[in-house]
Amino acid sequence: MKAKNSSSAVLSETNSTEASSSSTEEAVQRHWQGVVKRRSFLKGLGIAGATLSAGALLATEGHAQDERSKGKLSKGDAALLRFAAAAEIIEADLWQQYNELGGVQGGNPAYIAALSNLDGDMPQYISDNTDDELSHAAFLNAYLISKGEEPVDLLPFRNLPSSKATGAKDVKRLTNLLMLNVDLSWYTRYRSAQNPDFGVKFKGPFTIENQPAIPLNDNDTPPDQTQPVPPATKQERTLA
């Protein structure tokens, strides 16, 4: 009798364990399927959707799936890629200005010497960053073209002047490194419990307004100027 009861108890416990395990696996599967569906759904929506009705969202997802099945991009996906391509083109424009003057193949020896005093790898770093930004922009535009979409062209917006220092190309720019404003309020903002969404204004630890980030002309970096450490003259200290 005891053996029978013991056997029944073991069988009951085994069945309970198997049922619990099965229930856990089913719950995991349901959760995973929900994650997959949500990710697929959000991917199809792109960046729109927050203000759309449920019916409109479902229609958007269906349309996006149809477009993907044809090898095309949805409007949202194409917009995101164009935004990314524009950002890379702007970044490339900024780094090109540094690279022309202070990169490995830069044309301003005094500027290269000053940068090397800060970090001996700085010219290589500038050149590598420039190559990266240019390749990112080229890749994104090539992908857009491969999907039948218009690439990003910011040429009409190139209206800003170049540096006059030795090494700089005389071309129009998208970014202005001759009079640079830097918002340093992030330094305070991310260390504060206050919320800028409720009108709180933050000030940075100091202000950078209308300051050059590169040599303006050869008065800043005479081509034959050396950059000893520490700098000995006022002219040398300009770049220190």
**pLDDT tens sequence across 147-202:** 999 999 999 999 999 999 999 999 999 999 999 999 999 889 888 999 888 889 99
Asked if residue 38 has pLDDT above 50, the reply is no
At 101 the pLDDT is: 96
Domain final position from 11, 34, 62 = 62
What is the token pair recorded at 85?
């391509």
193 assigned to some structural domain: no
Indicate if 138 and 230 belong to the same structural domain: yes
Indicate if 27 and 106 belong to the same structural domain: no
**Over residues 87-103, mean pLDDT:** 97
Q: What is the mean pLDDT of the chain?
A: 81
Nearest in space to 109 (alpha carbons), one of 214, 230, 216, 223: 223
- How many domains in the chain? 2
**Over residues 111-127, mean pLDDT:** 94
Indicate if 112 and 19 belong to the same structural domain: no
At 12 the pLDDT is: 54
Indicate if 81 and 128 belong to the same structural domain: yes
146 assigned to some structural domain: yes
Of the listed ranges 113-122, 127-136, 146-155, the least confidently predicted one is 113-122
What domain range includes position 171? 75-175+225-237
189 assigned to some structural domain: no
88 assigned to some structural domain: yes
At 49 the pLDDT is: 41
- With bands split at pLDDT 50, 70 and 90, how would you rate the model's confidence at 103? very high
Indicate if 145 and 85 belong to the same structural domain: yes
| Span between the terminal Cα atoms of the chain, in Å | 94
